[in-house]
A and B are shown apart, each in its own frame.
Chain A
Amino acid sequence: MASKTPREGYCLGIESTADDFGVGIAAFNGEILANAVSGYVPEQGGIHPREAARHHAEVADQVLAEAFAKAQLKPKDLSVIAFSQGPGLGPSLRTGATVARALASYLNLPLVGVNHSVGHIEIGKLQTGAKDPLTLYVSGGNTMVTAFAAERYRVFGETLDIALGNCLDVFAREAGLKQRKGLPLGAAVEKLALEGKTLVALPYVVKGMDLSLSGLLTSATAALQKGTNRLEDVCFSLQENAFSMVTEVTERALAHTEKREVLLTGGVAANRRLQAMLSVIAREHDAEFKVVPKQYASDNGAMIAWTGVLAFTHGLRTPVEESVVRVRWRVDKVEVPWIT
């Protein structure tokens, strides 16, 4: 979002919640000047927290240098350092927090801890122009329907067990699909699902505005191992069931909150089938549908930098002694004084 307002200051944001180490630089006027990232790709299986943390420590200096080069800034130009304080994997978070503390104390700059989930919502709002959306935030670690009400982002619906991205990733690994740089497992499932034709019967579990995905994952895996179903059909059925469930709870929350915008954010936001389903319910409830641009969908430093700007310019600071990571920091516990 190019803006004519003066930049005033710059915030560097460090994201290290899970498998990605990202560094973003945001100007106070909302310009994103850099968004560098390095992803850890496990040799096999899912994220090993210790290995992810080791990766982050190894690449931190390169990713920082890349961000400064991209933004054409020097460390002395910065006004504040922001970091993802949680929720997430402890070892990964602690690596990012260590880098942030070191930078802040070396450069003698204030530090501000940012909630990762709020970061996903705020970058979505910044990039799409959404003002007060009902947000569906879907990623490898989170699945929630949230909207602002009385001083906080309130959680209207969420998963009772595993996250949507996790459900798709684990299924993909069970199916023998391989993660490659630039092609997340979820994207592989999406591609195969396009060739699916037959709907395999799978569980559909909506409880109030919450949902449960673990039974769906187990059943989809079993449907594949049975050997009589095509992989494409199971991918298709898994997506249709899972996305219908999140769309249904989003619609319930939309009818309940009567918000005029629906924002889709987080890593799974890149999925076109999910985008299509949500745009249908937004239209039916006279709400505008907005989706975060792909480069800001998965974990990134820019969202931490921008949320750091919002927090810092509204008086929030995180002294080093309070900068311990918070692995289960719920979005409805976060102060958001920039929203009125």
Chain B
Amino acid sequence: MDNLTRGTLLKKGAEASLYLAEWHGRRAVIKMRLPKTYRPTQLDQQIRRQRTVREPQLMHEAKLAGVSTPLIYLVDVANAVIVMEYLDGKQVKQVLDNLPPEERRDLCVVIGGLIGKLHVHGVVHGDLTTSNMILASNGKVSLVDFGLGEKNTELEAQGVDLHLLKRALQSTHFQNANACFTAVLEGYRQVLGSEGTERVLEKIREIERRGRYIADRQQP
């Protein structure tokens, strides 16, 4: 990893630590998946390796689908390190609840469109939370953190993907969760059309029935 200076710690997440760095004169982010001592070394290496390989591949696929993701500068599989472009902007998580309702709705429609593009292209993100969406000052939204994603065209995977976003909205943006998810679906519908969206929605309902998600049914 020459021409690389590891700078300040941007974020110590659960899965990886992000450092601000300089790479050939560009501002970059170093994403290091550090070993997790709670799990066996063999399992840990396998998981970190798999995610380090998969993440840049899926970011590339996302670009092909028309979804903005950071440029990849370097991948070091042996050390589970990825060096990528630094995106100027804010996490959607930080801004969503403070936006005026109209802007919030518009942002969610944009997000829904991005998810639609991914799904049409056969990519599921695997960790759709508002922390993994970066809003630039010009209004452009980029998606990051594809480590849990996969190439998958199945309705099941797409349903789980959207279900996770719905849940993330409910736990983190509980005041606006329903309106936001409705707007997300509107953007999604613009890409997939009504029929495709209905199929995914039906799948989400199935997933909810399968788990412990549905609202209480009163029983005699």
Write the residues of chain A forming the contact surface with B, with a CB cutoff of 8 angstroms: 86-87, 90, 142, 149-150, 152, 154-156, 158-161, 199, 204, 206-210, 240-241, 244, 247-248, 251-252, 254-256, 276-278, 280-281, 324-330, 332-333
Is B43 in contact with A244, judged by CB distance below 8 angstroms? yes
Complex interface: chain B residues within 8 A of A207 (CB): 126-127, 148, 160, 164
B202 sits at the interface (CB 8 A): no
Is B14 in contact with A208, judged by CB distance below 8 angstroms? no
Q: A155-B167, A280-B37 are in contact. Are A326 and B14 (CB under 8 A)?
A: no
Is A326 in contact with B216, judged by CB distance below 8 angstroms? yes
Q: A154-B171, A251-B14, A328-B216 are in contact. Are A159 and B43 (CB under 8 A)?
A: no
Within 8 A of A (CB), among B27-56: 36-40, 42-43, 47
Q: A160-B211, A240-B43, A241-B43 are in contact. Are A210 and B216 (CB under 8 A)?
A: no
Is A333 in contact with B211, judged by CB distance below 8 angstroms? no
- What is the bound-complex CA distance between A328 and B164, given in angstroms? 20
- What is the bound-complex CA distance between A200 and B15, given in angstroms? 23
Is B37 in contact with A330, judged by CB distance below 8 angstroms? no
Is B42 in contact with A328, judged by CB distance below 8 angstroms? no
B174 sits at the interface (CB 8 A): yes
Complex interface: chain A residues within 8 A of B47 (CB): 204
Write the residues of chain B forming the contact surface with A, with a CB cutoff of 8 angstroms: 12-15, 36-40, 42-43, 47, 126-129, 131, 148, 160, 164, 167-168, 170-172, 174-175, 207, 210-220
Is A328 in contact with B167, judged by CB distance below 8 angstroms? no
User: What are some 23 contacts across the A-B interface (CB < 8 A)?
Assistant: A86-B216, A150-B174, A155-B170, A155-B171, A158-B211, A160-B207, A160-B211, A199-B43, A207-B127, A208-B128, A208-B164, A208-B167, A209-B129, A209-B164, A240-B43, A247-B38, A252-B14, A254-B14, A256-B172, A281-B38, A326-B218, A328-B214, A328-B215
**In the complex, what's the smallest C-beta–C-beta distance from B37 to chain A, in angstroms?**
6
- What is the bound-complex CA distance between A324 and B205, given in angstroms? 25
Q: A161-B211, A324-B219, A326-B216 are in contact. Are A208 and B168 (CB under 8 A)?
A: yes
- What is the bound-complex CA distance between A158 and B163, given in angstroms? 12
- What is the bound-complex CA distance between A247 and B14, given in angstroms? 10
- What is the bound-complex CA distance between A152 and B175, given in angstroms? 12
7 nearest A-B pairs in the assembled complex, by CB-CB distance: A244-B39, A277-B38, A251-B14, A280-B38, A252-B14, A255-B14, A208-B164
Q: Which residue of B lies closest to A253 (CB)?
A: B14
Is B219 in contact with A277, judged by CB distance below 8 angstroms? no
